[in-house]
Chains A and B, each alone.
Chain A
Amino acid sequence: MSGIAAQAIRPTADWSIGGYRNGLGSVENIGVTLALSRPRHRMDLVRELVARDIKLRYRRSVLGIVWSQIAPLSLIAVLSFVFGHILPLQIAHYPAFLFVGLLPWVWFQGSMVAATQSVVGGRDLVRQPGFPVAMLPVVSISTTLINYVLALPVMFLWVGVSLGQIPVTSLALPLIVATQFLLMIGPCLMLSAINVTFRDVAHIVEIAMLPLFYATPVFYKEPATRFHLLYQLNPLAYLMTAYRAALFDGHWPQMLPLAVIAIVAVALIVLGYRLFDRLSYRFPEEL
């Protein structure tokens, strides 16, 4: 009956995997140990994926990366017209003030929205053996950070022209950026993981950005007395204060709030990673 057999079975889809041993040598529970064991690889991975995102977004466009700057610049133009002339907030050098606060806000908003979608949008990578999926939200935060960094020269130029000088305390900027980066990782891990099962999360995040924008002193100064609790509980408010102190007022930012935010951020990362890890179990089948 070899005839039946020869006919009854056919290849339709062959696929195969080959694992290869190199210098690593140790027995690894892939996906967990492998991912954690090579920080160098993690860095390179984020770097390559960020480079890919930026190249893909701006290749074949005439203005290229300039587009990423046009959105915040036009927002600054609109806000400085409205709150400088129509409903004047009486803030000196208002456009420069806006520049300093709005750019980190745009980074925050862009990161939260992009990171929430990062796992859902990274279907191919999630299915890649041994790929550290938890890096996807970090890649999103990094990609939007690049846009922020690219806007910095324009901001410093504006601040310098408006104030007549660039405050030396601007040197604290990397520290504040690092704190904000750290703060965003935990929530982004949670949101991106939950968004795999409940795609509503992406919409909720987008909608939540508007009230959060008004609840954070981005385009206004934090009022001294009223609604104090609102600002005390909002870590972004402390970050805004720090950005403004360093880049606009010329004070060194207060270290205690930044340190507290950093501790909260680390706690959120631990929580976020545990949640992400638990949910990532089912990512390949949910995507």
Chain B
Amino acid sequence: MTTAITLRSVGKHYGRAGADRPQTLKETTLRGFKTGRKERFWAVQDVSLDVTAGRTVGIIGPNGAGKSTLLRLIAGVERPDSGTVEVQGRIGALLELGASFHLELTGVENIMLSSVVAGLTRREARARLPDIVEFAQLEDFIGSPLRTYSTGVVMAGVTIMFVSHDPARIRELCDEVVWLRGGRVAAAGPPMEVTARYVQSQAEAARRLTPRDVPDAYTPAGVKLEAHRNRFGSLEAQIGAVRILNAWNEPCSTMESGSPVRLEMDVAIPDNAAPAIASATVRRADELICLDTYSEVRAQPQGGRVTLHIERLDLAAGEYVFDVGLYSGDWTRTYDYHFGAYPFSVTGRAAGAGMMAPPLSWSVGAGVSTR
């Protein structure tokens, strides 16, 4: 097996620039050519990796963990301050595909320019032009999933580094996962194991954020909300009363399958916590997530109401619960999270083993051969 990417104790630090750093000659001269106090901050530290050619490797970690820095180091856009980066073959950045695109240029001119910028000679670019045009017409190529690239015409036999803080996508796409925390490798290995540990650590982080001395609260249905048991988060922004409403605008805990449902959340979001994200999840008694949705919310310092409208709740009969959450706009901070506090039951036809019960019917026709 050939190694496509080799990192040996790679480190990269930044001067924590900020407003302190001189930007002009005048400022530097006035300071007597001292560059100010250098507060070093290691974005990536002591990272060693071997990536086998042809593999898809995911890098997971919270914001500021050094994921993007690591990619830039591998891509050669930045150079490490310590350690070595070796890459076999040529590197291209998917995100940067459009970087040199200009609306004033024609499609072919743009493709030629981008190809040459990406490392092809004009001749190589011309030879691939029909493929690239076909690919660009077939695919809305920024939006299409990554796997189509690897099987697609443009990149064959590629090694892919994929960065995300979404464990589900990492699991779906990657052969191996590297979890970065504070610029260091926290764990590396098979996707299932590593993402599970990452997910657990994120949950622990939300738990750590949760203050100690939060008074207990009660939901409108009388369920006790207790910090560190079924309520987590920093509480910088808060979820107040949460109501499950039926078609007649009445609070309800039992509903007919297929009926409309509204979930109303009273929220208080101070200006410094905005924009925030409100989320709602429908979970079945056995932990299966049936629905998971979220929406951005502006500041509501005087308190506001966020409503989720579900036109038809086509769930099979059974016991369910709404989990609701409020997060910072970049999902890195949990403000308030109520776990399992809003139960409800769905009545109606049993749906066998499935969880869905949409309107359906069977019909039978005679005379159609199965062979």
Contacts and interface: CB of A to CB of B under 8 A. Distances in A.
B161 A21 contact: no
B37 interface: no
A126 B339 CA distance: 47
Interface string A20-41: 1110111111110010001011
Interface stretch (B85-93, B239-247, B252-260, B303-311): B85-93
B327 interface: yes
A17 B92 CA distance: 6
B89 A22 contact: yes
B262 interface: no
B155 A198 contact: no
A207 B155 CA distance: 49
B279 interface: yes
B89 A48 contact: no
Nearest to A56: B104
Interface stretch (A3-11, A66-74, A161-169, A227-235): A3-11
Contacts of A128: 77, 93, 96, 99-100, 117-118
B131 interface: no
A28 B99 contact: no
Contacts of A24: 89-90
Given A19-B158, A21-B4, A129-B75, A4 B232 contact: yes
Interface residues of A, number: 59
Interface string B139-167: 00000001001100001111111111111
A17 B169 contact: no
A144 to B, nearest CB: 20
A200 B29 CA distance: 12
Given A31-B79, A52-B102, A127-B77, A17 B165 contact: no
A251 to B, nearest CB: 40
Given A1-B203, A130-B90, A56 B105 contact: yes
A49 B109 CA distance: 11
B340 A3 contact: yes
A274 interface: no
B290 to A, nearest CB: 12
B24 interface: yes
Nearest to B68: A15
Contact of B79 (A20, A56, A281): A281
A55 interface: yes
**Residue of A1, A8, A49, A51 with highest tally of chain B CB at under 10 A:** A8
A28 B339 contact: no
A282 B64 CA distance: 19
Contacts of B119: 34, 41, 130
Interface residues of B, number: 91
B95 interface: yes
Contacts of A56: 102, 104-105
B23 A20 contact: no
B contacts with A: majority SS: mixed
A93 interface: no
A20 B115 CA distance: 13
A226 interface: no
B9 to A, nearest CB: 16
Contact of B75 (A17, A28, A55): A17
A205 interface: no
Interface string B169-194: 10000000000000000000000000
A22 B122 CA distance: 16
B92 A15 contact: no
A20 B100 contact: no
Interface in A181-205: 198-201
Given A29-B86, A124-B99, A9 B120 contact: no
B308 to A, nearest CB: 14
Given A7-B323, A17-B91, A27-B86, A44 B121 contact: yes
Nearest to B105: A55
B221 interface: no
A175 B192 CA distance: 65
B17 interface: yes
Contact of A3 (B4, B158, B339): B339
B78 A285 contact: yes
B169 A124 contact: no
Nearest to B106: A55
Interface string B33-53: 000000000000000000001
Contacts of A284: 72, 77-78
A55 B102 CA distance: 11
Contacts of B17: 285
B22 to A, nearest CB: 9
B74 interface: yes
Contacts of A200: 24-26
A4 to B, nearest CB: 4
Contacts of A90: none
Contact of A28 (B77, B88, B155, B292): B88
Contact of A19 (B87, B146, B279): B87
Contacts of B118: 128
A9 B281 contact: no
**Residue of B23, B76, B88, B327 with highest tally of chain A CB at under 10 A:** B76
Contacts of B26: 200
A60 B68 CA distance: 38
A127 B169 contact: no
Contact of B76 (A12, A52, A129, A201): A129
A207 B367 CA distance: 91
Contact of A9 (B105, B165, B323): B165
A26 B87 CA distance: 9
17 contacts: A5-B200, A9-B331, A10-B327, A11-B331, A15-B94, A20-B92, A21-B4, A24-B89, A27-B88, A29-B85, A41-B121, A56-B105, A124-B100, A125-B117, A130-B75, A198-B23, A281-B78
3 tightest A-B contacts by CB? A21-B89, A30-B76, A129-B75
